Structure 1
Amino acid sequence: MIAFGSPPAAVGGSAGAQDYPRAVNGVNVNRDETALERATVDSIGPGIVDCALYAEGTRQGGQVPLDVAWETARDAGDGFVWIGLYEPTTEQFEAVSTEFGLHPLAVEDAVNAHQRAKLEIYGDIAFAVFKTVRYVDPEELIEVGEVMVFLGPKFVVTVRHGKAGSLASVRRQLEANPDMLRAGPSAVLHAVVDHIVDGYGTAAEGLGNDIDDAEFSVFDSARARDDQVTERLYTLKREVLEFRRAVRPLAEPLGRIVRGDVPQVDPRTIEYFRDVEDHLLRAAEHADWFAELLTGTLGANMAQIQSRENADMRKITAWVAIASANTLIVGIYGQNFVYMPELQWKYGYPLMLTLMLVISVCMYRGFKRNHWF
């Protein structure tokens, strides 16, 4: 979304980037970042995907043990440590929370997940929760995950839940930009939020394409009678609401950062957060628009269904009326009275059949003229 400074032509040009393994336990980095995180989860410490020390805008070495990284970061002038975790248990997170003095309530939220997007301040540590979104196009489903960020003076801890929003690429891209890394933990917070909001835009694009197709199918006579059209519209409406629940709550914490109400955020990065806020507001507007569009499309679809049902009822009523007229004549002549008109006339039977046919034709033409057929 934003380019900070002038990054090198390739990620490998940043210091420490050569320490990233191309494959870990047989898992290709570019093919499956989530699988990579699981493969490396025990290489540094229980539940820790990566632990890196940064100073003067560059990564110092490769993966560093947690206690060594923290001690070195405290002694370095502008150094900080970034620890990444993926779906840690309480026991796995205990070492991190103890090392950095994280608040127990924030730790509980980070481990259990299922939180709304929010930003809380615990002393000199900021704790933020962000919802990640991934749109699975073939199934037309929204997958929602979470990323929690602990932001301290010399450290940043990211905790990720769910398949969406892998941060491996965020770390590589940020390491390719030493100018921004010099801003410290705030640079990591921005890169994470920027990546998440970019995911909102990608999901909105996929949702928009499918909603347009569903709207077209409602007014397409060849597909309008398909019962799956209504089911698809309801499914998309549910996914849009899920998308909106993920996007909308982020506006408040991001607004606090942009206004400078979070002292843990470096003032030099606020202008970049403002750009992310603009993208977030656009994604939220898309979510609102999608919800309104689907509501109107569902209304049009239900109106078409009701119109077709009314047309079917008119046809049934018309045929019943035609049959009733003939039934009336047949019923009268089936009473077996002795004195009835034309009973002794040899043309009486053909006459009644002709009369019934004429009545049926006249009624049919009258109903058709009034668009009942």
Structure 2
Amino acid sequence: MPGDRSSWLPLPRREERATVVQPPEPAPGRSAGAAIVDCALYEDGCRRGGRLSVQQAVQQAVERDHGFVWIGLHDPSSDAVEEIGRRFGLHPLAVEDAVHAHQRPKLERFGDTLLMVLKTARYVDSSELVEIGELAVFVGRRFVVTVRHGEGRPLAGVRRDVEAHPKLLDLGPSAILYAVADRVVDDYEAVIEGVAVDLDELEADVFSGTRSNPAERIYRLKREVIEFRRAVAPLAAPMQRLADGGATLGLDDRVAEYFRDVTDHLLRDIEQIAAFDELLNGALQANLAQLSTRDNQDMRRISAVVAILAVPTMVFGLYGMNFDHMPELHWRFGYPAVILVVLVVCALLYRQFRRAGWL
């Protein structure tokens, strides 16, 4: 990390260590310990001491010249986040953003602390739903706090991957921010693959020639794609800031090339999601056009049948009026002749409608 590592803020310097040993009184409600998924101290690219309590991790970090703490929280209460915020001197506005979990993806700096908010995504294929969660990452000179809301993929895999690469881990908290962002963007690709499969099924259904109406499914999938797009697209600007160089943000400039790779993947995902939206619009228009065509065909078919049935209705209606003087009323073959004429006329009309494509 650039700058003097021994002056890690907001954690105290070595001479102020006594003020850290006694933790503040916990806030009422669920304690931070219940929400902590993992807490570890990292030094020289390695994890030290296994899983630690927050107090142990802070104390051991202060006792060393190098190293940083990574604390992971999942669905914490407001009291839990506020307790962690007090331990690390996080800005109240940043803590509030992490508590409410209804933020747009963003990157903000509060003094020596960087806050990045990302949206996690998971595709539930059985119900064709995109589940959106939220992940807040606080990055200081010698600490990382991740606050995860929702059912997105846990970050335990990210820890294992980072711990398996000491050279990357030796870059400090900047490496953790990169690894987390990379995993979130990778998960977007899994969602895109799931949506692509369902979109192919929809297109096949729309153009199958059957009389099914997939409009409801199209609307439902379009709504999920729009929500997914809202979660992903705003992340492009923060990622581009990181890719342009993190020195101004208090990060190690060596991770910029890693963020550039993540940014490339993210922009590709955004383009793919936009293409999905356009394809769904096209599928919806095609489905509406087919429904209109089917309605017109049905109306022509009904009109043709009504026209054919009008002939016997008119003829038999006339002969049912009980007049004394009617054509061929007293002729022996009058009744079969009328029936034959009606059948011939109906047959000619049917043939003409068939040629015109109405039947």
Residue of structure 2 equivalent to 1:123? 111
Instruction: Structure 1: give runs of 5+ residues left out of the alignment.
Output: 1-40
* Distance in 2, Cα, partners of 1:295 & 1:194: 30
* Distance in 1, Cα, partners of 2:229 & 2:223: 10
Residue of structure 2 equivalent to 1:142? 130
Are positions 1:231 and 2:219 aligned together? no
Q: TM-score, normalised by structure 2?
A: 0.88
Letter of the 2:279 partner, please give it. L
* Distance in 1, Cα, partners of 2:66 & 2:269: 35
Are positions 1:194 and 2:182 aligned together? yes
- 1:279-327 deviations in Å (ceiling 9; x for gaps): 0011111100111111111211221122122111111110101111221
Residue of structure 2 equivalent to 1:20? none
Counterpart among 218, 221, 227 of residue 206 in structure 2: 218
Letter of the 1:246 partner, please give it. A
- 1:229-251 deviations in Å (ceiling 9; x for gaps): 33222222122112111111110
Counterpart among 337, 341, 355 of residue 351 in structure 1: 337
Question: How many equivalent residue pairs?
Answer: 329
Tell me the secondary structure at the aligned position of residue 46 of structure 1.
Answer: helix
Counterpart among 239, 247, 251 of residue 254 in structure 1: 239
* Distance in 2, Cα, partners of 1:216 & 1:342: 60
Counterpart among 166, 178, 191 of residue 154 in structure 2: 166
* Distance in 1, Cα, partners of 2:317 & 2:68: 98
Q: Residue 45 of structure 2 contacts residue 167 of structure 2 at CA under 8 Å; is this kept in 1?
A: yes
Q: Residue 81 of structure 2 contacts residue 98 of structure 2 at CA under 8 Å; is this kept in 1?
A: no
Residue of structure 1 equivalent to 2:315? 329
Report deviation, 1:65.
Answer: 2.2
Tell me the secondary structure at the aligned position of residue 201 of structure 2.
Answer: helix
Report deviation, 1:85.
Answer: 0.5
Are positions 1:59 and 2:44 aligned together? no
Residue of structure 2 equivalent to 1:70? 58
* Distance in 2, Cα, partners of 1:46 & 1:368: 75
* Distance in 1, Cα, partners of 2:262 & 2:345: 75
Residue of structure 1 equivalent to 2:225? 240
Once superposed, which parts of structure 1, at least 4 consecutive aligned residues long, lie more than 4 Å away? none
Residue of structure 1 equivalent to 2:10? none
* Distance in 1, Cα, partners of 2:333 & 2:82: 104
295-304 or 169-178, larger mean C-alpha shift: 295-304
Q: Residue 78 of structure 1 contacts residue 182 of structure 1 at CA under 8 Å; is this kept in 2?
A: no
Letter of the 1:293 partner, please give it. L
Q: Residue 74 of structure 1 contacts residue 154 of structure 1 at CA under 8 Å; is this kept in 2?
A: no
Q: Residue 119 of structure 2 contacts residue 135 of structure 2 at CA under 8 Å; is this kept in 1?
A: yes
| RMSD, aligned α-carbons | 1.6
Report deviation, 1:252.
Answer: 1.2
Are positions 1:107 and 2:95 aligned together? yes
Percent of aligned pairs sharing the same letter: 52
Q: TM-score, normalised by structure 1?
A: 0.85
Q: Residue 119 of structure 2 contacts residue 133 of structure 2 at CA under 8 Å; is this kept in 1?
A: yes
Q: Residue 145 of structure 1 contacts residue 165 of structure 1 at CA under 8 Å; is this kept in 2?
A: no
* Distance in 1, Cα, partners of 2:222 & 2:249: 39
Tell me the secondary structure at the aligned position of residue 335 of structure 1.
Answer: coil
- 1:71-117 deviations in Å (ceiling 9; x for gaps): 33244333111010011112222321111111112111212212211
Residue of structure 2 equivalent to 1:306? 292
* Distance in 2, Cα, partners of 1:73 & 1:90: 26
* Distance in 1, Cα, partners of 2:341 & 2:292: 37
Are positions 1:297 and 2:274 aligned together? no
Residue of structure 2 equivalent to 1:6? none
Report deviation, 1:342.
Answer: 1.4
Q: Residue 87 of structure 1 contacts residue 111 of structure 1 at CA under 8 Å; is this kept in 2?
A: no
Are positions 1:154 and 2:157 aligned together? no
Q: Residue 74 of structure 1 contacts residue 80 of structure 1 at CA under 8 Å; is this kept in 2?
A: no
Report deviation, 1:364.
Answer: 0.4
Tell me the secondary structure at the aligned position of residue 316 of structure 2.
Answer: helix
Report deviation, 1:355.
Answer: 1.1
Residue of structure 2 equivalent to 1:26? none
Letter of the 1:320 partner, please give it. V
Tell me the secondary structure at the aligned position of residue 139 of structure 1.
Answer: coil
Q: Residue 109 of structure 2 contacts residue 249 of structure 2 at CA under 8 Å; is this kept in 1?
A: no
* Distance in 1, Cα, partners of 2:205 & 2:279: 14
